[in-house]
Amino acid sequence: MKEKILKELYTHQGKYVSGEELSEKFQVSRTAIWKHMNNLKKQGYTIETTHKKGYRLVETTEKLIKEALKEHLETEEIGQEILCFDSIDSTNNYCKKIAKDAVHGTVVISEEQTVGRGRLGRNWSSPKGEGIWMSIVLKPSIPPTEGMKMTQIAAASVCKAIREITDVEAYIKWPNDIVVGGKKVCGILTEMAGELHKIDYLIVGMGINVNNQEFPEEFQGIATSLTIQKGKKIDRKTLILCILKTFEELYQHYICQGTLEKTLEIIRLYSAVLGKTIRIIKGEEEIKGKVLEINDEGLLKVQLEDGRQEMLISGEISI
């Protein structure tokens, strides 16, 4: 019911809808409508109420609304189903729960995550309303060994979209970070379920610091946000729409052509590591190497200090 009322308010595009009209349409009492409105307000929606005219949804940049996203979506498969939450443990966790029955391309977004996750069980700070905490369910017919290419497609789309929408000079720190001025503005977490030769589904989670003004002490010095870089607020909706559109273009190119060519063009152009000397962290051990290339499979070719060359498939590096 809450969803239906919200949709009705949204389709009136900022104009008033009377309680009577709503109660007739949905066959519930006006008191029930009033209670639903109060609940929506508690969830953060700005709904103006006047005695004579009824209710009006004020669209603000403060809150992501499914209908508003869907109205401007320019994709065929990614985001045909969108679920927006006020608070959730983790959008990746939620995707896992629904993945079996979810349609390919389902997008889950939450205003906050209470247990946002990074790789290897690390924590991902996801404060309310400040970032884009979003996951996509994918069901491609590709072998599991190719699954990690989705991280590259996601990284390329987020980086390109940030540049297009905000003009912030974002770079890709292989394999799963987007950085600005050496600090992390986005992290990507790709998870996979399936058998040895077949993927059941993939979940690509993106955490983007958009309007954060500050960070917990532990992340100061390593994290930044688009607002901090740009000096003004960024509209999350516009950025999400651009990310989904770019993701779909790169994804479809990869699925149809079987190559990462388009993605790699972006990854190489905006690489934060190509040609640089990096530290490769392998458990307790740390070795230095110079990045020679990102090959056609998206692997990192590194020249180690002892003269050997190594191909990194994924993992932990620092610049």
- Which residues of the chain form contacts with ligand BT5 (CB under 6 A)? 90-92, 113, 116-120, 122-126, 133-135, 176-177, 184, 187-189, 205-207, 209, 219, 222-223
What is the biggest distance separating any 2 CA atoms in the chain, rounded to whole angstroms?
79
Q: Which is nearer to ligand BT5, 178 or 274 (CB)?
A: 178
Q: Which is nearer to ligand BT5, 126 or 263 (CB)?
A: 126
Cα(73)–Cα(240) distance, rounded to whole angstroms? 9
**DSSP H/E element including 311:** strand 309-312
- The least CB distance from residue 314 to ligand BT5, in Å, is 10
> Which residue has tokens 């607020």?
233
Cα(301)–Cα(289) distance, rounded to whole angstroms? 9
- The least CB distance from residue 40 to ligand BT5, in Å, is 24
Cα(19)–Cα(51) distance, rounded to whole angstroms? 10
- The least CB distance from residue 99 to ligand BT5, in Å, is 13
Cα(153)–Cα(241) distance, rounded to whole angstroms? 16
- The least CB distance from residue 13 to ligand BT5, in Å, is 30
- The least CB distance from residue 79 to ligand BT5, in Å, is 15
Q: Which is nearer to ligand BT5, 70 or 119 (CB)?
A: 119
Q: Which is nearer to ligand BT5, 226 or 266 (CB)?
A: 226
- The least CB distance from residue 104 to ligand BT5, in Å, is 18
Q: Which residue is nearest to ligand BT5 (CB)?
A: 187
131-138, strands of its sheet edge to edge? 82-88, 107-113, 131-138, 199-209, 183-194, 177-180, 171-173
Q: Which is nearer to ligand BT5, 212 or 262 (CB)?
A: 212
Q: Is 104 exposed, middle or buried (0-12, 13-18, 19+ CB in 10 A)?
A: middle
Q: Which is nearer to ligand BT5, 54 or 205 (CB)?
A: 205
**Half-sphere exposure for 103 (CA within 13 Å, toward CB):** 10
